[in-house]
Amino acid sequence: MIGCRHSMTINDVTPSARGCEECLKVGSPWVHLRLCRTCGHVGCCDQSPLRHATAHFHATHHPIIEGYDPPEGWGWCYVDEAMIDLPDQTAQLTPIPRYV
């Protein structure tokens, strides 16, 4: 948690969708999924074409995401650009659809 002041924004969340919410709407592929630990938004990572997790941060300023697919249990703070330890890991709503 060194350098991150946003641990109070970490909530127990319910994932908003089985895959990236926006990619599912437009039929776009993604590489990995990121879960917003403030509101539960599921978005795709920066290796994905549309980068919806980062877009969600810019739109909402929710700072903390979790590696959701694969479920890796790490957290990332966009504001501090730092890996953080999460107090827990969010269970996946299975199955996660696969586009790649």
Summarize as ranges the residues that interact with Zn ion (CB under 5 A).
4, 6, 20, 22-23, 36, 38-39, 41, 44, 50, 52, 60, 62, 77, 79-80
CA atoms of 55 and 89, how far apart (whole Å) = 23
* CB 80 to Zn ion: min, Å: 4
Contacts of 98 (CB under 8 A, 6+ apart): none
Indicate the burial class of 32 (C-beta count within 10 angstroms; 0-12, 13-18, 19 or more): middle
Q: Give the DSSP letter of residue 14.
A: -
* CB 70 to Zn ion: min, Å: 16
* CB 71 to Zn ion: min, Å: 18
Give the residue with the Cβ less far from Zn ion, 28 or 89.
Answer: 28
Give the residue with the Cβ less far from Zn ion, 58 or 91.
Answer: 58
DSSP bridge partners of 66: 35, 75
Give the residue with the Cβ less far from Zn ion, 36 or 86.
Answer: 36
